[in-house]
Structures are given as C-alpha cells and as structure tokens.
Chain A
Amino acid sequence: MSRPPTSARPRLVRSLLRLFTVQGSWNYERMQGIGIGVAEEPLLRDLRGEGRDDGVAYRAAVARGAHFFNAHPYLCGLAVGAAARAEHEDVPPDQIERLRTALCGPLGSLGDRLVWAGWLPFTSGLALIAVALGLGWSATLAFVVVYNVGHVALRWWALRAGWTYGAQVAQALREPLLQRATALSGPAMALVVGAALPLVAQYLSSALFGWTRLALAAVVAGGFALVWWQRARLTGVRLGLVLLAVAALAGWLWP
C-alpha cells in the first residue's frame, strides 16, 4: 500500500477551489462526473511522481474520476477526497468505482435535506423576515455572509472527511454533529419560513387597500389550492403567468 502525500493541504485547497465549479460541466451523460474529475485531479498528481508505471496509474485514476457521478454539489468533496485517498492506497479500481456509485444516493439525499430543504430556506426565510421588518439592504448582505459561512464550511468539511477516511468514508456520515444538524434543519426551516409568510404578505400588500386586500386573500387561497392539488401540471411560474394574464384582461375590459 503506497502512502498518501505528507503535505496534502495545498492540494486539498486547490481541490476545494475547483469544487466550487463542480457543476460547471453538468450534462445528461455523466452529470457531475467531469467536474468531479477536475476537482480530484490535484489530489492525484503525486501518483505521477511515484515512478512506478510512467503515469499509467495517474491517468487511470483521472479517467475514473470523470465517470458518472451525481450528488449534492456541496458534499461532492466527500467522494472526491475518498476516491483520491483510495487511489493512493491502491484500492482495486472496481472497488473505487463501487465506492463512488454507493456515495451518490446518500450524499444526494443528505445534501438535499441539509441544504436545499434546510439551511438555504432557513437563511432565506430569515432574510425575508428582516426585509419585511424594514432592515432592507443589510438583510441581503447578512444572508449572503451567513449562508456562505455554512456553505464553505460544509464543502471544506466534506473534502477533509473524504480525504481522511478514504474507503471508510461512511464513518464520516455518522458524525454526531452532522446527524444533529440534519435533524434540526427541517423544523428550524419550517418555523422560520412559516413566520416569514405572513410578514412578507403584509410587506408586499402594503400598497393595497379596501377591496384589493380581499381580492388578494381570495387569490392566495385559490392559487394555493390549485398549486397544491394540481402540482403535476401547475407550477408557480405557470400560475403567476395565468393570473397576470387574467388580471390584465380584466383590467382592460373593466369600464
């Protein structure tokens, strides 16, 4: 078994920077595969220098790194680090391929719950509340800073954990902090976005008076029912365009 490089930090940093572009070449064939290969490449470079096979191991590892992969973009680093470490530890190629395949589902599901259905709507909901309460422009700035503290920390943790655990990377997913964060993110998001909705309704309808407020309540109730029960056919954007078209027509026809 060959040893991993002793000073991995600069390469991990380079890999992390590339991970910020991981979805740049997203396609229907390999999905994130190309981006994953690009991010993994700096961690594979010392396979060239080990003088054992004229770079054959390096090229084979680069080719494997660019195969099909799809998971949550912020957690891709876990697969990148783990696969690169496994390449250094001479884990058989088919086992590395299996490791990558096995990570797609859990990393996708974890990231969706933790970020897309947790951290992102939670921080965005806080920003909506802040804007509705009159904090204005600083709410936007705070959202970008707070959201990205979590975002960058998660990407860095994922890459480090993958590199540390290698083929045993499943252990990283059982870390108590991660488990707690995943359990908390759903209720926290629900509470914050729930609180944001009435405040935002008041903020957006501040210019409306009299009958228009009643009409708004009816449109929200009817629109919600339609989007909820016809979710396969009626998306928010379609509802919006239909309602705007009806409103424009009614406005022109109204004497």
Chain B
Amino acid sequence: MSLELQLLLLAWGTLVGLDLVSVPQAMIARPIVAGPIAGAILGDVGTGLQLGVLFELFQYDILPMGATRYPEYGPATVAAVSAAHAAAGTLGLGLGAFVGLVTGMAGGLSLHALRQLNTRAVRRAAAALEAGDPRVLERLHAASILRDAVRAAVVTTLGLVLAQAARVYLAGTLPPHGVALLTVAAVGAALAAGAAGTLRLVGRGPSLRWFAAGVVGGTVVVWLR
C-alpha cells in the first residue's frame, strides 16, 4: 500500500476519531460510515461496507453515556479495512476484525487518558476560570480539541501499523478451514454483541414486541430473497 493511501487513511481516521466525542458528533465515527469511506480510499468499497456492518453490530453493545468507558470503533474500522483490503476474501473479515478490535480497545484507553489530561489542564486554569476570563476558557477548550485530534491520529497510526503487521505476518499462515473459523468467530461475535446490546436497549417493556416483530419481518425477507 502506497504512502499516499496510508496518509489518506490516517487523515480519515483522525477526522473520525475527532467526531466521536469532540467535533461535531455527526456520526461519521460510526463504523457504517467510517468503513465504506476507508474502503473507497483504497478502491475497495465492498470490504469497507462489510467491515462497516460488522463493527456497527459491535457498536450496538455500547451506550456512550457520560463518563462510561467504551471501545472506539471509528479509527478501528479504518484500520480493519486497511488490514482486510490486502487479504482478499473471507480471510479479510477475520483479520480485519482482529485488527479493529485491538485498535478499538486502544482507542477506548486513549479516551480515558485524554480525559485525565483535560482534567489536569482544567485544574491548572481553575483560578482564571473562576475569574471569568473568556480568553483562558476558549484557549483551554481549543487546546483540548487539539489534544483529541492528536489522540485520534495516534490511535489510527497504531491501527494502521497493526494492520500492516497483520498483513505481513498473519495473512497466508492459516489453512482454508482456519480462515473459515476466523470468519465464523468474527461474524458470530458481532451478531451476538449486536443482538445482546439491542435487547438491552429495548428492555422488557412494550418495545420488546416491536423488536420481535422486526426479527420476524427481517427473517421473512431473508427467506424470500
């Protein structure tokens, strides 16, 4: 993969990482968006869509409320698509899922570290903030956003390096049935996490009946196709 493509992926992963919490929360950080665009950068929208759908299911396991800690799947999906792109076919899905899940965990840890850095910066500026100095307030805010951009770039870089390593050292080492097992594990985990996360959101109230109706409707469409 050329350096230009890697830099484009890095830029996209940074934007995606910034969107998750800081600016503008337009949901380009959702895997269903991050994946296909990473795929388009690599000229492989199909792989991007597949991994976008896979990580979107993992995303249903998360409710991003307040101070909760959660994996960051945006840059993770970009890295996953990069890993899967070179490993064509079913291997791509398993390899991409592995790279994406590890990157997602690293992204989650980095968010916690960023929030601690922000807390320290706020404490340092407490006197000026209590005096109502608008310039200090704005500078503090801008610096935090810049810090998040650097964090997103670092996480994406880590993911892309991991993707490169996976392509070089793992692709080609598995026999065909091993490749199939890896795909089964990736898709199975995503579906299980997505279903459990959705059911947790739905709860035991009246929405449960709507969920059941949806599952039946979706199954009928699958059967008819």
Contacts and interface: CB of A to CB of B under 8 A. Distances in A.
A254 B175 contact: yes
A240 B189 contact: yes
B119 A27 contact: yes
B66 A31 contact: yes
B137 A66 contact: yes
Contact of A38 (B53, B67, B137): B137
B1 interface: no
Nearest to A224: B192
Interface residues of B, number: 109
B163 interface: no
A195 interface: yes
Contacts of A197: 191, 194-195, 198, 214-215, 218
B178 interface: yes
B33 A20 contact: no
**Most chain B CB inside 10 Å of its own CB: which residue of A59, A60, A108, A195:** A195
Given A136-B49, A190-B214, A191-B211, A240 B24 contact: no
A91 interface: no
B63 A191 contact: no
A194 B214 contact: yes
A24 B61 contact: no
A23 B180 CA distance: 42
Which applies to chain A's interface (DSSP): helix, strand, loop or mixed?
Answer: helix
Nearest to A123: B27
Given A195-B215, A237-B71, A239-B192, 5 more contacts: A25-B144, A128-B53, A219-B189, A237-B61, A254-B181
12 contacts: A25-B122, A34-B141, A41-B134, A62-B134, A63-B131, A127-B32, A189-B201, A190-B210, A203-B53, A236-B190, A237-B61, A240-B189
Interface of B: 21-28, 30, 32-33, 36-37, 40, 45, 49-50, 52-54, 56-67, 71, 89-90, 93-94, 97-98, 101-102, 104-105, 115-116, 118-119, 121-123, 129-134, 137-138, 140-142, 144-145, 148, 173-175, 177-202, 205-208, 210-215, 217-219, 221-222, 225
In the A-B complex, the 5 residue pairs with the smallest Cβ-Cβ separation, listed nearest first, are A251-B178, A194-B214, A236-B193, A219-B188, A223-B192
Interface of A: 20-21, 23-31, 34-35, 37-38, 41, 58-63, 66, 70, 73-74, 108, 112, 116-117, 120-121, 124, 127-129, 131-132, 136-137, 139-140, 143-144, 147-148, 151, 186-205, 207-208, 212, 215-216, 218-224, 226-228, 231, 235-237, 239-241, 243-244, 246-248, 250-252, 254
